[in-house]
Amino acid sequence: MPRVKLFDEKEVLTKAMNLFWKQGYSATSIQDLVAHLGINRASLYDTFGDKEKLFKKSFELYQQQSIQKVNQLFENQPNVKEGFSELFNSSISQAVADKDRKGCFAVNNTTELVPNNVSCSEILSSNRRAFESLFYEYLKKGQKNGQLKEGKDLHSLASFLFVVYNGILVVSKIQTNKKELTDSVNLALSLLD
């Protein structure tokens, strides 16, 4: 008779994501996961596989949540420049308020795992492509609505804004001066004029 799971997989993935986010992939042991998740080793392996598979699944959850959140923000903000301003400034506010200074889960994993972990590199590259695509589509919509000048290289601009977005999340781990971070954002946003 198969065992009945006594836990919610998404809840466990969220807990795993938060632990990996706080401690990093390498510093998180299987024993840390078992203790933090409140499930036994056998259940962890049966449900999620090994540590790397659990990490990848928790990262996929993070990516889905992040993309959904940014997409929702863009859908609610028809003005492209104001949408990016809201995205960047809310990221600054959240980062400055974060007492743990966790930064961005994707950025943390990129700096920790790339280039040494090839299998994790692909999910991180996929995350970058997904965000750049989302940014590009939003910029394209803004250009179509006359908010951006014709002739702008929207692919390069989307890539640049992704770099700025991630840069904010890295620098805010050590720089908590909100005004300085906001000034940098405003300079980047001037490219949307």
User: Contact 68/46 with Cβ under 8 angstroms?
Assistant: no
pLDDT, tens digit (0-9, with 9 covering 90-100), for 1-45: 455 466 788 899 999 999 999 899 999 999 999 999 888 888 888
Question: Between the CA atoms of 106, 108, 112 and 114, what dihedral angle is there, to the nearest 10 degrees?
Answer: 30
pLDDT, tens digit (0-9, with 9 covering 90-100), for 100-127: 777 788 888 888 887 887 777 888 889 9
pLDDT band at residue 144 under the 50/70/90 scheme: very high
| pTM > 0.75 | yes
Mean per-residue pLDDT of the chain: 89
Q: Which residues contact 52 (CB under 8 A, 6 or more apart)?
A: 119, 120
Question: What per-residue confidence (pLDDT) applies to 118?
Answer: 79
Percent of the chain with pLDDT over 70: 97
Question: What per-residue confidence (pLDDT) applies to 102?
Answer: 78
Mean local confidence (pLDDT), 83-96: 92
More reliable by pLDDT, 75 or 95 = 75
Q: Which residues contact 117 (CB under 8 A, 6 or more apart)?
A: 25
Judge whether residue 134 has pLDDT over 70. yes
In the CATH scheme, what architecture does the domain 59-192 have? Orthogonal Bundle (1.10)
Question: What per-residue confidence (pLDDT) applies to 121?
Answer: 82
Question: What per-residue confidence (pLDDT) applies to 189?
Answer: 93
Question: What per-residue confidence (pLDDT) applies to 3?
Answer: 56
List the domain boundaries for the chain. Answer: 59-192
Mean local confidence (pLDDT), 116-144: 91
pLDDT band at residue 88 under the 50/70/90 scheme: very high
The rounded distance, in Å, linking the Cα atoms of 25 and 141 is 37
Strand (E) or helix (H) holding 152: none
Question: What per-residue confidence (pLDDT) applies to 32?
Answer: 94
Question: What per-residue confidence (pLDDT) applies to 1?
Answer: 44
Question: What per-residue confidence (pLDDT) applies to 66?
Answer: 93
Amino acid at 154: L
User: Contact 92/168 with Cβ under 8 angstroms?
Assistant: yes
Question: What per-residue confidence (pLDDT) applies to 6?
Answer: 66
